[in-house]
Chain A
């Protein structure tokens, strides 16, 4: 029972990280119909910025928010400078540009900060938290879940209750009509990229204390992010978040209780989830089936 609860909480914690990443994928997907393959590496790069700030002596939380801000600006710049020129290019070109970004971020991070694995501080206290008598779970895990939920809540309120959020949703849903009512669609897209980059940065900073910081840390996480987003429905932010949590929990339970998987085949679990979802229910659990006219 102890083991089960511990694994559940650990699963929710990693699930929260996948959920954040899945959410940032969905935000860009909804706005542009594209999957940003560089999302994980962008998050990794942000985490390195945070690491540099913390190492320069800045306290954790100011560094955290400064990093989120930097990522926001960075996301906007990427959309404006790199993505915009190929906006109307064939899908293949855009995917190749995304992969190019992935490679550039990865190598530049390795160039600046070397490939040595670095520890990353956790803002949460070290001592474990006793949830139920006798069952202790790491504080960081609980903290991750709380932070993830806070981010989701913030985004929800932003998109649901602010005029800017409404404009962004409109621009994503119907660019032509939005332009006609005076919404700057291009600017909204750039904002979306900025927000997605910030959410990714949060995911990176939350996962780094668990997996340690190195330029390759996000590739596995990105795969889980994909799995979460696809499972929940790539067109549905709430679904993607739920999907992320589900994938996290599933990963931990399968790793613990299915003997032949263990820790060694965890990534394969994500691959299997992805393939199964796109085969059985491409729209995901909570997504709407979309029909395109040819």
Chain B
């Protein structure tokens, strides 16, 4: 890091310190929130985290790798059903089901990603849309009913908090989900900042050039699909544990679309955007539902179109612009430059 950058300050703090400070604030809020909220509120925050993971998964694929998926609800469903079947049929404890669900989705994602390699842009969108539409029907299929419970779905029990911790079930699940969320986010951030991450982005930006530079585009694309499906599958697994119930019709095409909404609202190709997207998916429909039962989806649709017109960078893009504006207004030029160099939007680093 050049010395000019480290000397620049805003209100007495350097840019990296600002970043740390805001992260710490977010961390404290995330820990305190369930302790001061009702169980139902806590449950809602848990679901927001679950959505954030799912959106992050979709964002790896669509935002960073440039492959469309209109069917990520399918992987969410696979994760959820893996957990439900293991917990209800084989009485496996919930924390052991999570890695299995992730692994199952990783494999399925890779297998679906293999043919998907040959599908450019729109064709992939059509195929994944097909997947999303077909999934509820597959889950209801008579011969699988022994495992999936058919139309009825599966009810699972909510896990108790362990080691005699003085937490309600909802609070415990919140902290469990929070821990998984943090782990997944750090893992994804590291992945995207690594050599593989740059390969993923290079394929999005110019796949012929990426190939010319020696990137095995076929393999990277398949693996990206797998990792993306794995994230969303983990989200599904957590979602099933939190909601305590899985049924085919809750994994319809609109689940996939809501992930897309969350991704667009939070910000394409943005890691923090997934959190905004998750919060949006959880809380905006509640507000809109007071107008009409159909209103949340109308709002979703308008947000999708509106964001594409006016805010293609989503919330995180807008926040980034605000941050830059603050720097330009009050900070020194150096700080402005520093925030760009360290910001998540640029992955160009001297190595």
Contacts and interface: CB of A to CB of B under 8 A. Distances in A.
A119 interface: no
Contacts of B329: none
B142 A264 contact: yes
Interface stretch (B10-18, B270-278, B294-302): B294-302
A219 B294 contact: no
B68 A92 contact: yes
B309 A266 contact: no
A275 B119 CA distance: 9
Contact of A264 (B141, B254, B257): B141
A85 to B, nearest CB: 6
Given A96-B304, A110-B294, A103 B122 contact: no
Nearest to B302: A104
B129 interface: yes
Interface stretch (B93-101, B131-139, B215-223, B337-345): B131-139
A279 B118 contact: yes
B308 A268 contact: no
Contacts of A111: 292, 294-295, 298
Contact of A226 (B130, B253, B296): B130
A98 B253 CA distance: 14
B127 interface: yes
A266 B131 CA distance: 13
Of B70, B127, B129, B264, chain A has the most CB atoms within 10 Å of the CB of: B129
A291 interface: no
Interface residues of A, number: 47
Q: Binding site of A, secondary structure by majority: helix, strand, loop or mixed?
A: helix
Contacts of B293: 110
Given A265-B137, A267-B134, A278-B118, A100 B305 contact: yes
A34 to B, nearest CB: 7
B301 A223 contact: no
B119 A278 contact: yes
Given A99-B257, A264-B141, A279-B118, A92 B133 contact: no
Given A111-B295, A223-B129, A265 B141 contact: yes
A264 B129 CA distance: 19
Given A274-B126, A278-B127, A89 B308 contact: yes
Contacts of A100: 300-305, 308
Given A223-B129, A265-B138, A275-B127, A104 B301 contact: yes
Given A35-B125, A260-B143, A264-B140, A107 B295 contact: yes
Contact of A99 (B66, B141, B260, B292): B260
Contacts of A282: 118-119, 123
Interface of A: 34-35, 37, 82, 85-86, 89, 91-93, 95-97, 99-108, 110-111, 219-220, 222-223, 226-227, 230, 260, 262, 264-268, 270-271, 274-275, 278-279, 282, 294
Interface of B: 62, 66, 68, 70, 115, 118-119, 121-123, 125-127, 129-131, 133-134, 137-138, 140-143, 208, 253-254, 257, 260-261, 264, 268, 292-298, 300-305, 308-309, 312
